[in-house]
């Protein structure tokens, strides 16, 4: 359990975020509603789209013929109506959802004529959160809760980097104080994660998994005491239980450890989520909305125990870029030139190793809503080719060993690599952080490697 600051007027209030599996259908929405109703300290609820709706919406943006477009719209409509049809009195919500579906249909008509730009993709994708939040409000109201639907775009102002927009934190705080603070004692506020609005009034998205980030930003802006992240797993484990059945649950973990896990692929947390929580020292709780009685994991500034090995993570869809040039030999400025070029194309580098005449670096192709993982554009590759020879390897995964003071453990190499003697490790990054060791491996072998490492380090 974490210590809670009492400096704020909102010292007991909680922002509860529910992921897609927690609002996937009527039954899961009702269980999530029960959690909110039970805990009177929850004053703001942040929702993702119902499970798989965002994927359907992204497919809709790529529909190249009218039959495909109509089939996807039908699937989306059916998912909403499986919830509406279970409501005791659907007359209030049905016209609202029908209106959203009609607007979505109208927006999608251009997809069969020409490829959509990022701005149009963001607008279409936002409808998942809009629909799920309206439906959740109706379920709460039919359970006797005074719930208010709130459009998060009124406060979540961002830049215009569609697909992975950056919020304006100062403006968010001012607008949250203006629009949300007065409502906190009047009703339960239900809003959307993931989406925002640029200064021109156009809908943006914060990147896949951005609902966690939304919840933490709102908690920071209003000085809430805690953020609850409700998902389909009862907290954080030593690795993904779907990969290793014997994975152990973790009752409490530090911000540093959790940040490493999020950055290196633990799907239970969005990498940006912890930044607002760390800044404001707001504890984050992670639990299962379907099994709240099982407890979960608290993420705090400090914990009683810091084990050498905390967890294993996996991040798929990694691209390895190897750049060769004799210009590097005893020369200055080559690396600066490469990184300037990558920055101009909005690409951030994850891991890097160098030799006298080459650089190997990894690019994370996950995260953005609108790029579909296509970071290496033809323009970028042409510009890089003018500077060096470029080799691209895909189908890779990043396995990260998360722990504490790893650089001070004697015999660390034998503990790790003795289990992996028969596997090809394409890159090793170690030393820059005492909290992680990263291994770049074939995606096909990544899960087996996780299983072997877990047995060696945790069992």
Binding region: 17-20, 54, 129, 231-232, 237, 242
As given in the structure block, the two tokens for residue 403 are 């722990």
Element (H, E) at 340: helix 334-344
Element (H, E) at 172: helix 169-179
Contacts of 251 (CB under 8 A, 6+ apart): 235, 295, 297, 298
As a 3-state breakdown, the chain gives helix, strand, coil percent values, each rounded to 5, of 40, 25, 35
- Tell me how far apart the alpha carbons of residues 277 and 370 are, in angstroms, rounded to a whole number: 27
> Residues forming the annotated binding site for ATP?
17-20, 231-232, 237, 242
Three-class DSSP category at 12: coil
Specify whether the CB–CB gap between 219 and 283 falls below 8 A: no
| Nearest Cα residue to 268 out of 315, 219, 221, 220 | 315
Element (H, E) at 438: strand 436-442
> Residues forming the annotated binding site for substrate?
54, 129
Strand partners, 231: 288
| Nearest Cα residue to 222 out of 270, 185, 189, 174 | 174
Q: How many CA atoms lie within 13 A of 197 on its CB side?
A: 14
Contacts of 133 (CB under 8 A, 6+ apart): 47, 149, 190, 191, 192
Q: What is the CA radius of gyration of the chain?
A: 23
Q: What are phi and psi of 353, to 5 degrees?
A: -130, 150
């Amino acid at each position: 359990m974490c210590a809670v600051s009492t400096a704020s007027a909102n010292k007991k209030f909680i922002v509860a975020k529910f992921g897609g599996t927690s609002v996937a259908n009527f039954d899961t929405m009702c269980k999530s509603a029960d959690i909110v109703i039970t805990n009177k300290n929850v004053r703001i609820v942040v929702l993702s789209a119902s499970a798989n709706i965002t994927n359907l919406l992204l497919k809709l943006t790529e529909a190249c013929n009218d039959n495909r477009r109509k089939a996807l719209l039908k699937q989306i409509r059916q998912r909403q109506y499986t919830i509406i049809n279970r409501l005791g009195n659907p007359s209030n919500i049905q016209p609202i959802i029908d209106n959203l579906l009609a607007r979505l249909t109208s927006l999608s008509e251009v997809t069969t004529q020409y490829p959509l730009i990022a701005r149009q993709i963001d607008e279409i994708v936002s409808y998942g959160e809009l629909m799920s939040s309206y439906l959740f409000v109706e379920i709460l109201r039919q359970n006797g809760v005074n719930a208010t639907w709130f459009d998060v775009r009124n406060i979540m102002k961002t830049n215009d980097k569609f697909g992975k927009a950056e919020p304006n934190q100062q403006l968010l705080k001012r607008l949250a104080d203006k629009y949300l603070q007065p409502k906190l004692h009047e009703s339960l506020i239900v809003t959307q994660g993931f989406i925002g609005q640029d200064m021109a009034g156009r809908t943006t998205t914060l990147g896949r998994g951005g609902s966690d980030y939304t919840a933490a930003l709102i908690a920071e802006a209003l000085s809430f005491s805690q953020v609850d992240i409700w998902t389909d797993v009862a907290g954080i484990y030593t690795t993904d239980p779907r990969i290793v059945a014997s994975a152990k649950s973790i009752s409490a973990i530090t911000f540093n450890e959790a940040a490493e896990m999020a950055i290196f692929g633990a799907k239970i947390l969005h990498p940006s989520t912890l930044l607002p929580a760390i800044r404001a020292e707001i504890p984050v709780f992670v639990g299962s909305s379907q099994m709240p009685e099982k407890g979960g994991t608290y993420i705090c500034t400090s914990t009683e125990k810091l084990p050498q090995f905390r967890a294993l993570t996996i991040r798929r869809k990694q691209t390895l870029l190897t750049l060769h040039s004799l210009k590097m030999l005893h020369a200055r400025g080559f690396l600066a030139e490469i990184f300037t070029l990558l920055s101009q194309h909005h690409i951030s580098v994850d891991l890097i190793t160098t030799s006298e005449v080459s650089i190997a670096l990894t690019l994370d192709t996950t995260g953005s809503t609108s790029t579909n993982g296509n970071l290496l554009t033809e323009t970028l590759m042409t510009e890089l080719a003018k500077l060096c020879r470029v080799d691209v390897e895909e189908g890779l995964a990043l396995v990260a060993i998360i722990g504490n003071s790893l650089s001070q453990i004697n015999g660390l190499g034998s503990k790790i690599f003795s289990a992996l003697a028969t596997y090809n490790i394409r890159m090793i990054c170690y030393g820059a952080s005492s909290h992680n060791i990263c291994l770049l491996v074939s995606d096909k072998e990544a899960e087996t490697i996780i299983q072997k490492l877990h047995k060696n380090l945790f069992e």
